Amino acid sequence: MSLRNSRHQFFASALLATVALTLPAHAEEPRIVSVGGSTTEIVYALGAGDTLVGVDSTSLYPAVATDLPDIGYVRQLSAEGLLSLNPDLILAGAEAGPPAALQQSASAGVEIVKLEEGFTPEDVYAHVATVGAALGREDEVAELVETLKADIGHALGEVAAVSSKPRVLFMLQAGRGPMLVSGRHTAADAMIELAGGVNAVTEFDGYKPFSPEAATVAAPDIILMTDQTVEALGGAEKILADASLAPTPAARNGRLVTMDALYLAGFGPRLGHAILDLASKLHPEHDFTPLPERPWTKAQ
């Protein structure tokens, strides 16, 4: 090697070393905990799943989320469990609580972004925007919301073409608690309407314990349950054969519709597909045009 080439190599190496010393250190990715199944779905749909260091027990989709540390049930969080993951940010869905656990985490210096409850397509767009802003993914938000609007618009257009309006009774059993039915202003109530049905119970808001007499009066054409509730009760045949439901048109005609709980009531990025899937179950006589699969709706 010539003396001239040696000098060139020396100066090039010195210049690279100087540049390296003057560049700022690469910032570490934030450590994020997501609380709420639909909130976690939004994080993944925005392409930020690799920033998550923990989720709650309702974060079951996509399946890869279940590999993360579980900080407990969405409504029964503890500050100790949240802080044990050393998060920089907690994305808290509307159901996240109790408030004291989030307040203690905030007092420890963790940023908390809390989503508001809502069961409309507009609420879904707002949740995506809130999560995306917290993650610094504004470009991804614009693209995702545009696609969601197209999907939901398609689903609602399909539903608008149906002529039947079946009366639907949503029944839910959470854990070992009592059987509940949905009144107004719930996720189930909103989904029934979006899918072209009529909630058979409108006398109260929220959920109340099941009453055989009230079910008879409600006279549902269809009983809607989550897959998880049907499994816990021993299957569809056993449910429809129950004496408390036998007088209803739904039981007489064997019309029990089931869907995964998070898919049905999550109001997340899969909403358009969920509306169309539920509508196809409520209106089997109608030929619905399906939606294309999206990266966040494929089985994972």
**Considering only CA atoms, which of 217, 226, 194, 190 is closest in space to residue 206?**
190
Tally of domains within the chain: 2
Domain that holds residue 63: 32-156
**Considering only CA atoms, which of 147, 227, 146, 161 is closest in space to residue 195?**
161
Residue 278 within any structural domain of the chain:
no
Co-location of 252 and 150 in the same domain = no
Last residue of a domain, one of 97, 129, 156: 156
pLDDT digits (tens, 9 = 90+) for 167-192: 999 999 877 778 999 999 999 999 99
Co-location of 205 and 240 in the same domain = yes
> Over 50: is that where the pLDDT of 25 sits?
no
Distances from the Cα of 67 to the Cα of 56, 60, 97, 207, 275, angstroms? 11, 10, 22, 32, 28
Q: State the pLDDT at residue 97.
A: 96
Residue 146 within any structural domain of the chain:
yes
pLDDT digits (tens, 9 = 90+) for 129-179: 999 999 999 999 999 999 999 999 999 999 999 999 999 999 998 777 789
Per DSSP bridges, beta strands 179-182 and 167-173 are antiparallel
What is the rounded average pLDDT of the residues 93-103? 96
User: What percentage of the chain has pLDDT greater than the value 90?
Assistant: 84
Alpha-carbon span 222 to 162, nearest angstrom: 16
Residue 15 within any structural domain of the chain:
no
> Over 90: is that where the pLDDT of 298 sits?
no
> Over 70: is that where the pLDDT of 17 sits?
no
Q: State the pLDDT at residue 299.
A: 57
Last residue of a domain, one of 123, 140, 156: 156
* DSSP per-residue letters across 177-200: S-EEEE-BSSHHHHHHHHTT-EES
Count CB neighbours of 46 within 10 A.
22
Co-location of 173 and 245 in the same domain = yes
Last residue of a domain, one of 109, 126, 156: 156
**Considering only CA atoms, which of 109, 131, 124, 134 is closest in space to residue 268?**
124
Residue 257 · residue 278 · CB < 8 Å = yes
> Over 80: is that where the pLDDT of 300 sits?
no
Residue 142 sits in a domain whose CATH number is: 3.40.50.1980
The tokens for 250 are 């739904």
Mean pLDDT, the chain, whole residue set:
90
Q: State the pLDDT at residue 174.
A: 75
pLDDT digits (tens, 9 = 90+) for 218-265: 999 999 999 999 999 999 999 999 888 999 999 999 999 999 999 999
> Over 50: is that where the pLDDT of 11 sits?
no
Co-location of 144 and 168 in the same domain = no
> Over 90: is that where the pLDDT of 14 sits?
no
Q: State the pLDDT at residue 8.
A: 44
Alpha-carbon span 51 to 92, nearest angstrom: 15
Position 203 confidence tier, pLDDT thresholds 50, 70, 90: very high
**Cα R_g (the chain), whole angstroms:** 25
Co-location of 62 and 149 in the same domain = yes
* DSSP per-residue letters across 127-191: HHHHHHHHHT-HHHHHHHHHHHHHHHHHHHHHHHT-----EEEEEEE-TTS-EEEE-BSSHHHHH
